[in-house]
Structure 1
């Protein structure tokens, strides 16, 4: 068993097809098939059940896939360590962020970091929490900043910021004069919410469920800016993070409404794979977050 075989095996598992794996790896299909056969022969066990021309991992195959990913990740991390030792003035850190953080916090975080380390490359991805979590697990990101709960035991979580959310309505809405409602008043309102997989949505749903609050979702949007525009046009109400609505509140376009006896709070977190090597660059970036966001 060698690294070449493991890389080919992982690609076959990912594509679930020998021909597709061959295209991805710029190899011939017979070469892929031969490698898998040699790997099965070396290990003296079947890694795939071949049923109706479809590949399905055996129990042994699932074990090998799990550990192959860890081995290949470890190889990547070892190369990164060597690069750190050779040249500390250059580096690359792949960063992810969920939508709220990516839109309203990440740009200033990256700008401040690059002002200190201008030779560092910081490619970043912004998507909902579920997508970002999957990218961490697939080693497509080194670390990420998210607002949603993380359930995978392979991901380590460090809280770095406490976020407050508020019920928002238009200045044209009848609630704009009341500024406080009871939870029963939400029942008859058009409620706007983020898409499934959003950390903001999950936070809202969990708190609503905890307090047995009934509400009727009429619109689902995949970004907060669209929700804000809809609220301003008095198309519905929503619960939004405080960091996202400062300008609109200042201009009087949105109005913050309290729900009697209920607060919407959550924590922003830094997440990374438990097997991730924390390079000097990694640690410097995390320290930058704590220094510039937590104390701001």
Structure 2
């Protein structure tokens, strides 16, 4: 018994005529009669009593009619929901972001997007390696990360530029100098994010490229915790400008320039190469760029 068979049966029940049902469904009357006979033969039951020219439902026919109407109503409901999803009147998107983007940028972007569309946008915050794994496991639709991504199965689209600032406490000896030579970093206690963090990878790559030695003394997996530790003059750190602009403006942290050295990177939008790019998916990516342009 197919969905089409159910539709034919319910139409016959409602119109109480096979010829009327055939006309409504743009079918021949023998084809309608054949569909009813197939159901009856499949289950070895009678759906109608045929008395003269009148069709009356049997008990099995009444049961099938009750279920048939519910089934067709559910199909119609499913169709309406899918149309709503297609036209972004409803929907769901799962977004992942590495720590800096997830804390300091993504919530504002999602809030702005939900003002335009009545959709659910869920987001997960992890380090770059964690977001990459979620993409590969198809646990999220797309991610925004701050570190390099190395995978043939992941599409990487450049998003926005970022710079990491070397920051110290206002009480640190560097605070008044505001500029140091690379060699001065070598003996300093550095507070850094964990392995797998995009911030750490950019820091290590930049230091290696400039042949500068360094000493990571403390490892914390929270940018906020690192900022508090630097503010307490426990050590210095390299943190995204997005995360420290307020503290620098308030004078709680000091940006230290390094001669001939900058920690630069690019945030990227990533998704699996086999991911279906729905209307909602495409619209969210467009919104990401429009938000930054504003």
Please give the TM-score of this superposition, normalised by the length of structure 2.
0.71
Partner SS, residue 94 of structure 1: strand
Mapped contact 1:182–1:259 kept (Cα < 8 A):
yes
Mapped contact 2:174–2:256 kept (Cα < 8 A):
yes
Aligned to 1:60: none
1:112 aligns with 2:100: no
1:263-288 CA-to-partner distances (Å, cap 9, x unmatched) read: 11000010000000111000110000
Partner SS, residue 287 of structure 2: helix
1:146-166 CA-to-partner distances (Å, cap 9, x unmatched) read: 001000010001111000111
1:155-208 CA-to-partner distances (Å, cap 9, x unmatched) read: 001111000111100000010000100011011110010001101110111111
Mapped contact 2:84–2:90 kept (Cα < 8 A):
no
1:86-138 CA-to-partner distances (Å, cap 9, x unmatched) read: 64211111100001100000010001000101x20111110011011001000
Aligned to 2:145: 146
Aligned to 1:251: 250
1:208 aligns with 2:200: no
CA distance in 2, matches of 1:226, 1:102: 16
Question: 1:272–1:261: structure 2 CA closer, same or farther, 3 Å change rule?
Answer: same
Aligned to 2:162: 163
In angstroms, what is the RMSD of aligned CA positions? 1.7
CA distance in 1, matches of 2:144, 2:247: 24
Partner SS, residue 165 of structure 2: strand
Aligned to 1:286: 285
Mapped contact 1:129–1:146 kept (Cα < 8 A):
yes
1:65-97 CA-to-partner distances (Å, cap 9, x unmatched) read: xxxxxxxxxxxxxxxx99654642111111000
CA distance in 2, matches of 1:83, 1:267: 38
Mapped contact 1:84–1:280 kept (Cα < 8 A):
no
Q: How does 1:35-54 map to 2 (within 5 A)?
A: none
Aligned to 2:96: 96
CA distance in 2, matches of 1:270, 1:187: 34
Aligned to 2:46: none
Mapped contact 1:84–1:279 kept (Cα < 8 A):
no
Aligned to 2:225: 226
1:249-274 CA-to-partner distances (Å, cap 9, x unmatched) read: 11100000011001110000100000
CA distance in 2, matches of 1:163, 1:83: 40
Aligned to 2:34: none
Higher alpha-carbon Rg: 2
Mapped contact 1:135–1:141 kept (Cα < 8 A):
yes
Question: 1:199–1:173: structure 2 CA closer, same or farther, 3 Å change rule?
Answer: same
Partner SS, residue 110 of structure 1: helix
Mapped contact 1:84–1:91 kept (Cα < 8 A):
no
CA distance in 1, matches of 2:81, 2:194: 40
Deviation of residue 242 (structure 1)? 0.5
Unaligned runs of 5+ in 2: 1-78
